[in-house]
Structure 1
Amino acid sequence: MSNPIYVALDTPDLDRAIAIAKSVKGHVGGLKLGLEFFCASGHHGVHEIQKVGLPIFLDLKLHDIPNTVAKAMQAINVLEPAIVTIHASGSRAMMEDAKAAANEHTRVVGVTLLTSLDQRDMESVGYTGTPHDQVERLAELAQEAGLDGIVCSGNEVAAAHKAWKKGFFVVPGLRPAGTAMGDQKRAVTPRQARDNGASVLVIGRPITGADNPGEAARAIEGTL
């Protein structure tokens, strides 16, 4: 992948998403559409964003019983996404069924631990061990289930890459040096994530919240 940056168009406003996508087109490798966008604009919105001409990453984080997730995957195959997320914590069976139901050209990646969660958050919902332990555990399960890769923070991607040489690693929650962390608790810079083995760098507010998203994307691209 020549440009690993996928800009996160996490907005319910389709016109704004299209405007940002057009602005950053020359400086990113793809466009990530999350749950907020999909719930507001659905298949129609995805088709409109596809007109920009960049690969689409559907970050839907599917998580349900295996049969339901498989049918949901089949329902979005018509959109031909480059990447789709599911929750690795949904079980090996769920991941296997999701991968089996996906388009052959779609990479299915398992979300390990959200970058908005830290040790205290893990403990509050009953997870044991450290964030690193949780990512390692679910990365191994995702690999066994036949997924293409995982989603993890830049803090864990080096270890995940070492254990899964051919894995595809999506790193969200990135913050360029000197920018606000917002609600991210385990963020690193785009360059650090790339050096640690990230395949895709998901960047949202540092680009979409800028006065000139295209210039912001160009500046980040220049650090890689």
Structure 2
Amino acid sequence: MDKTSNRLIIALDVPTIEDVTRIVDTVGDAVDCYKVGMEAFYGLGHTVLAQLASRNKKVFVDLKLHDIPTTVSKTVKALCQFSPAFITLHAAGGVKMLKAAMEEADLWAARTQRPRPKLLAITVLTSLGERDWVEIGYQSPIRESVLRMAVMCKEAGMDGVVAAPQEAAAIRALCGSDFLIVTPGIRLHPERNGDQTRTATPAQALKAGAHYLVIGRPVLSAESPRDEVKHILNSMDEYMEKAKG
């Protein structure tokens, strides 16, 4: 995971398979992993996973599973057949749900003799600010809630969490270097009308301790997605070089 290209994940939040193939083929070998979220998966079905597999790309299945333990574990089993690199679940589903998902993934790996996907728990969505958090009914600040969830997820056996860059450093301190941290909300430049409130630049996220960075809209809307990806990777490389020095 030393190469920065291995640490960048492009979010394929697009409505058609033509959009998927255009982005992936344009970006080419600059990126190895793509995130398939609700829009692409529910709109395009398994086709999008097959397209990525045919191009030897790793898949981050981001469906944010959140249901009773039995339902989530069966869903994880169904998703494993596509050999994704990552699957996301909501930490708010609780320890029983998280453990059931991990047990099912382990069983699948043992039965098929194939690597199981990494299971990542969603902490608090980056679209939520402190006022939103209070309106939902939580009394503790977002940061405190995220850290409590992260510790719970590690104890439940999760491989890591998805969390905003602002919480990454504290999670790293609490959960250790092997606990994966994936940060969405990555932006090279501030957005005035974006729906994510807790964002950061690639350098800020890496400095905070993130293993993987997820970026979608800036790449998808760029005139040249490949050039935008190269720009992002260059900014990541620059930070990594400075960190070494």
Query: Which TM bucket (shorter chain)?
Result: over 0.9
- Note the C-alpha offset of 1:64: 0.1
The structure whose Rg is larger is 2
Tell me if the contact between 1:25 and 1:54 (Cα under 8 Å) persists in the aligned partners.
Answer: no
Q: Structure 2: how far apart are the matches of 1:208 and 1:180? A: 17
* Distance in 2 separating the partners of 1:190 and 1:53: 25
Q: Which residue of structure 2 lines up, in the alignment, with residue 29 of structure 1?
A: 32
- 5+ unaligned residues in a row in structure 2: which ranges? 110-114, 237-245
2:202 aligned partner: 190
Preserved CA contact (<8 Å) 1:118 1:186: yes
- Aligned pair partner of 2:19 in 16, 20, 24: 16
* Local SS of the residue matching 1:185: coil
The alpha-carbon deviation at position 178 of structure 1 amounts to 4.9
Q: Which residue of 1 aligns with 2:216?
A: 204
- Change beyond 3 A, Cα 1:135–1:116: same
Aligned residue for 1:67, secondary structure, equals helix
Identify the structure with the greater helix proportion.
2
Query: Does 2:166 align with 1:155?
Result: yes
CA contact (8 A) 2:38 2:62 kept: yes
Question: Which residue number in structure 1 is paired with residue 182 of structure 2?
Answer: 170
**How far, CA to CA, are the matches of 2:25 and 2:91 in structure 1?**
32
Name stretches of at least 5 consecutive residues in structure 1 with no aligned partner.
none
Choose which of 80, 97, 107 in structure 1 pairs with 2:118. 107
* 8 Å contact kept, 1:175–1:181: no
- Is the Cα–Cα contact under 8 Å of residues 52 and 58 in structure 2 kept in the other structure? no
CA offset digits 1:91-133 (Å, max 9, x no partner): 0000001111124431000000000001011111111211111
Letter aligned with residue 115 of structure 1:
T
How far did 1:183 drift?
0.7
- Give the CA deviation at 1:180: 4.8
Q: Distance in 1 between matches of 2:221 and 2:59?
A: 20
- What is the DSSP-based 3-state SS (H/G/I as helix, E as strand, rest coil) of the residue aligned with 2:214? strand
Tell me, yes or no, if the aligned pair for 1:171 and 1:193 is still in contact at 8 Å. Answer: yes
TM-score, normalised to structure 2, is 0.88
Secondary structure of the 1:201 match is strand
CA RMSD of aligned residues (A): 1.2
Q: Which amino acid aligns with 1:80?
A: S
Secondary structure of residue in 1 paired with 2:9: strand
Give me the whole-angstrom Cα distance separating, in 1, the residues matched to 2:190 and 2:86. Answer: 30
1:54-69 equivalent positions in 2, closer than 5 A: 54-69=57-72
Indicate if the aligned counterparts of 1:5 and 1:200 stay in contact, CA closer than 8 A: yes
Pairwise CA distance, 1:179 = 5.0
In structure 2, the partner of 1:89 is: 92
Contact 1:107-1:148 within 8 A present in 2 as well = yes
Contact 2:181 2:210 in 1 (8 A): yes
Residues 172-220 of structure 1: per-residue CA shift (max 9 Å, x gap): 0111135556111000001110121111100001111101101000000
